[in-house]
Amino acid sequence: MSNLAPKPATAEQRWTHDPVLTVEHLTMRFGGLVAINDFSFEVGRGDITALIGPNGAGKTTVFNCVTGFYKPTEGRITLRRGRGIRPESVAELTRSGRQSARADGGELFLLERMADFRITHKAGVARTFQNIRLFGGMTVFENLLVAQHNELMVASGMTFAGLFGLPGYRRARQEAQDLAVDWLRRTALLDRADDPAADLSYGDQRRLEIARAMCTKPALLCLDEPAAGLNPRESAELNDLLRSIRDRDDVSILLIEHDMGVVMEISDHVVVLDYGKKISDGTAEEVRNDPRVIAAYLGVDDEEVEAVEEKLEHGDLAGAAEVAGVAAPLSEPGEGGAR
């Protein structure tokens, strides 16, 4: 809708000086359709970052590129494990043609070069899906153990004998069980541990998906519409869970969410996509009051677009909001979904 450049980020924002994920010039084409068009953004280490936008804006496509489900047509996607990794190290890895490198006391990964299972297990990017994908016939506890299968196999030395004889395997198995129990407690699912996952309520299944992703010990947790289908109480519990993951586990979160109540309440950083392009990027407060977002998100009729853009080009934000027919900000925390 609007081709106006997004507002530049201010210096104190964490995502500009300590990003865990940097997406640069991402483009994704499906035949003649350009789903993502030269899109760049960062996820700050220790931030909850929301990727929002109207239906079909390209949010899931971005997730699919970050998690390796799609190979981007163009662009670089860098994951930094460890603080203080220099741009020179990223440039050197890019030139080398390799997928990852140890640098500046941390580890660097170029996700666009990696297969999805390596992105999960090596780079530490975990994901949940819009449509829940649990092993419904397995118990809740088994779902959390399966998530740790990769580490357990490594501990077994990849041998049958190793499953029985190696002390390293026994230790790893105990650790896997402890981690699973810990996440059952944190998601209030301990008393459902032996029930089939399919028997859980929708809200419980959503929390189990997050617990399962956390059992892979990620650096970045990507959540595709985690609040979809939740009632207000479950939504509030989800907010608490995500804040605790950010604050206690030192895990950065990138989420797609349509529920503006959730987005505005918990996000440190909000990035807005429309027609595959970034139209706004800032704190929840900044984005909520950005007429570009108001215009795109709440829908400005085609004939009004030019008038809104003209106002914006002259810096008349209030006038643009007026043309968009929206005097109030997007929505206040706790108000629920506005789309």
Residues at the site binding ligand ATP, with contacts judged by CB under 6 A? 30, 33, 35, 53, 55-61
Q: State which residue, 15 or 63, has the beta carbon closest to ligand ATP.
A: 63
Least Cβ distance, residue 51 to ligand ATP (angstroms): 9
Closer residue to ligand ATP, CB minimum distance, 19 or 58 = 58
Residue 250: CB minimum distance to ligand ATP, A:
28
For residue 121, the minimal CB distance to ligand ATP (Å) is 24
> Which CB, 16 or 37, lies closer to ligand ATP?
37
Distance of closest approach, residue 35 Cβ to ligand ATP, in angstroms = 3
* Comparison of 33 and 327: residue with beta carbon closer to ligand ATP: 33
Whole-angstrom distance, CA of residue 203 vs CA of residue 226:
9
Residue 302 Cβ, how far from ligand ATP at the closest point, in Å? 18
Nearer to ligand ATP, 19 or 53 (CB): 53
Identify which of residues 107 and 259 has a Cβ nearer to ligand ATP in the complex. 259
Residue 232: CB minimum distance to ligand ATP, A: 22
